[in-house]
């Protein structure tokens, strides 16, 4: 099993999104264990795209870290042949937010104050937000 950072609190990401620490803590506590899966495509409902599961979700300092267990399926063996993702790939989060609690800040960033984690997916490292 491997750990991957999926969010960092209070610092704008490459798309100008800011996730307050309290929001991330609430998201972690609301995440349903046993229902967060690793997929090859974001928001895919197809079972064939599932290649692993999130076995643990925790806050380490100001980062949300997901512990991933890859399944014994062909796509997982291609992307994570040793149980760890091959170089050039990472894990990103799929989440939904309540638009009524989203705030456009004066510095041009957007603050997300109510989020639910839906799962995670594999993406090229260069595309990770």
Q: What are the residues facing 93 on neighbouring strands?
A: 120
Closest CA relative to residue 64, chosen from 28, 16, 90: 28
The predicted structure's pLDDT at residue 129: 62
Q: Rg of the chain's alpha carbons, rounded to an integer?
A: 15
Q: 101: helix, coil or strand?
A: helix
DSSP 30: H
Q: Which two tokens stand for residue 28?
A: 């972690």
Rounding to the nearest 10 degrees, give the CA dihedral for residues 50, 53, 90, 39.
Answer: 20
Q: From CA 11, how far away is CA 22, in angstroms rounded?
A: 13
Per-residue confidence of the chain (129 residues) as pLDDT tens digits? 699 999 999 999 989 999 999 999 999 999 887 789 999 999 999 999 999 999 999 999 999 999 999 999 999 999 999 999 999 999 999 999 999 999 999 999 999 999 999 999 999 987 776
Dist. CA 97–CA 112, nearest whole Å: 7
């Amino acid at each position: 099993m491997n750990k991957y950072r999926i969010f960092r609190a209070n610092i704008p990401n490459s798309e100008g999104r800011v996730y307050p620490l309290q929001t991330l803590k609430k998201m972690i506590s609301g995440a349903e264990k046993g229902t967060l899966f690793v997929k090859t495509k974001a928001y895919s409902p197809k079972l064939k795209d599932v290649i692993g599961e999130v076995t643990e979700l925790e806050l380490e300092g100001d980062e949300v870290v997901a512990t991933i267990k890859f399944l014994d399926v062909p796509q997982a063996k291609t992307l994570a042949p040793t149980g760890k993702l091959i170089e050039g790939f990472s894990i990103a989060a799929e989440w939904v937010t309540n638009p009524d609690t989203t705030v456009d800040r004066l510095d041009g960033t957007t603050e997300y104050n109510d989020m639910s984690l839906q799962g995670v997916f594999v993406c090229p490292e260069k595309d990770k937000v």
